[in-house]
């Protein structure tokens, strides 16, 4: 268990939440994480427990079924979960910051009252359909199209790498689609697509390197009909709105990366005290001490970066650049700490029975998902005023 040495940054209610989720992660998640990972099994029971704790509603007002907290509270919960299991952490992060948040940020009052309460209570999960097979980091290369049909729209296209798209409790996928031309450019709008819908199918789960217990699939939309009131936000603002959602999401992904990096440090510290070589605990050797010191320094700095971005966001200040910095740095820290923890474990770290092997497999995607490291550098460079 981590001491409270970081809680001096936090107001009492944040510290209490962090402690609550830490206890849940330690007592309920950690004992099950390895088995769920090995079986590639979605953690329905743990998701239900998180719902009862109110974690899916953390940033939403109580009037929409939420807990009345804020986005920083969500990030604290994601960090603590990721210390023991990134699959569960990404399930929460994607359900809230990607699945439900677009409806809260850009939906009409009727849409919020209709769709948000079951998502905020954790009874249902939402998914975020932006990425396409031919697009990747070029989110503007959207090929999915929506054409008017009577009092609604018909949507045709494919979305790729969509988290929470095919669970038994998925109820909605928000998707972007071309709805016309504006000033010679694609007009991209966003829509609420209920699950199930006629013409909507999802692939079997991907066979992934990591995040084995999370749900990730392709989504196929074959003339899916949605009524006019399922348009999410203003027509033509879908691309811009979804990019704004990603700016926020990068703070939460940074928190997840910090949690994984902290988990690597936790495990490596424990092992360095237990494993003996040449008659001494390996933690007595300077080579190991220096690795652990570097790991601790990385975690500390990455945590400060995402705290800063979150505080700016909550204060209504510009945070786009700080979110990109936090995501870029924290994801690199996660990969580095996973590598060093594996090295400290030696051969045992290459065996899937050890948590650090799972952390190692889970870390790499953090440099890719919700904006690659290269995209983060582009964002940061633009913020510096460099030519585009």
Distance of alpha carbon 158 from alpha carbon 325, whole angstroms: 31
- CB distance 295 to 266 below 8 Å: no
3-class SS shares of the chain: helix, strand, coil, % to 5: 55, 15, 25
- Please tell me what DSSP assigns to residue 206: P
The radius of gyration computed from the CA coordinates of the chain, to the nearest angstrom, equals: 21
- CB distance 165 to 217 below 8 Å: yes
β-strand pairing of 216-227 with 280-281? unpaired
Catalytic, out of 23, 80, 370, 374: 370
Distance of alpha carbon 351 from alpha carbon 346, whole angstroms: 10
H helix runs in 169-317, sequence order: 238-274, 286-314
Q: 329: Cβ–Cβ under 8 A, 6 or more apart, which residues?
A: 254, 301, 302, 305
Tokens of 7: 């809680």
- Please tell me what DSSP assigns to residue 100: I
Phi, psi of 263, deg, nearest 5: -60, -40
| Residue 41 annotated in active site | no
Q: 109: Cβ–Cβ under 8 A, 6 or more apart, which residues?
A: none
Closest C-alpha to 176, from 246, 226, 221, 239: 239
Distance of alpha carbon 161 from alpha carbon 371, whole angstroms: 13
H helix runs in 133-173, sequence order: none
> Which residues are tagged catalytic?
370
């Amino acid at each position: 268990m981590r001491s409270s040495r970081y809680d001096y940054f936090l107001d009492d209610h944040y510290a209490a939440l962090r402690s609550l989720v830490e206890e849940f992660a330690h007592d309920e998640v950690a004992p099950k994480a390895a088995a769920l990972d090995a079986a590639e099994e979605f953690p329905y029971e743990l998701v239900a427990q998180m719902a009862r704790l109110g974690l899916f509603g953390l940033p939403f007002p109580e009037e929409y079924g939420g807990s009345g907290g804020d986005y920083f509270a969500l990030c604290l919960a994601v960090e603590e979960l990721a210390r023991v299991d990134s699959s569960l952490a990404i399930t929460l992060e994607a359900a809230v910051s990607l699945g439900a948040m677009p409806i809260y940020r850009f939906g009409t009052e009727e849409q919020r009252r209709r769709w948000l309460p079951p998502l905020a209570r954790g009874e249902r999960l939402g998914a975020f359909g932006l990425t396409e097979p031919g697009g990747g980091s070029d989110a503007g290369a959207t090929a999915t199209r929506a054409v008017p049909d009577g009092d609604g729209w018909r949507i045709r296209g494919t979305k790729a790498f969509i988290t929470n798209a095919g669970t038994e409790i998925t109820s909605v996928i928000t998707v972007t689609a071309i709805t016309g031309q504006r000033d010679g450019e694609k007009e991209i709008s966003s829509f609420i697509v209920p699950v199930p819908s006629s013409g909507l199918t999802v692939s079997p789960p991907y066979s992934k390197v990591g995040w084995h217990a999370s749900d990730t699939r392709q989504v196929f939309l074959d003339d899916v009909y949605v009524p006019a009131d399922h348009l999410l936000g203003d027509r033509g603002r879908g691309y811009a709105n979804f990019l704004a959602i990603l700016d926020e999401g990068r703070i939460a992904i940074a928190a997840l990366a910090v949690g994984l990096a902290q988990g690597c440090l936790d495990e490596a510290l424990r092992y360095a005290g237990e494993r003996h070589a040449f008659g001494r605990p390996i933690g007595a050797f300077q080579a190991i001490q220096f690795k652990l010191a570097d790991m601790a320094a990385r975690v500390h700095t990455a945590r400060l970066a995402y705290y800063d971005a979150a505080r700016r966001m909550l204060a209504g200040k510009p945070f786009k650049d700080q979110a990109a910095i936090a995501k870029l740095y924290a994801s690199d820290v996660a990969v580095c700490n996973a590598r060093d923890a594996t090295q400290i474990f030696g051969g045992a770290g290459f065996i899937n029975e050890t948590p650090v092997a799972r952390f190692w497999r889970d870390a790499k995607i953090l440099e890719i998902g919700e904006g690659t490291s290269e995209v983060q550098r582009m964002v940061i460079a633009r913020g510096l005023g460099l030519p585009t």
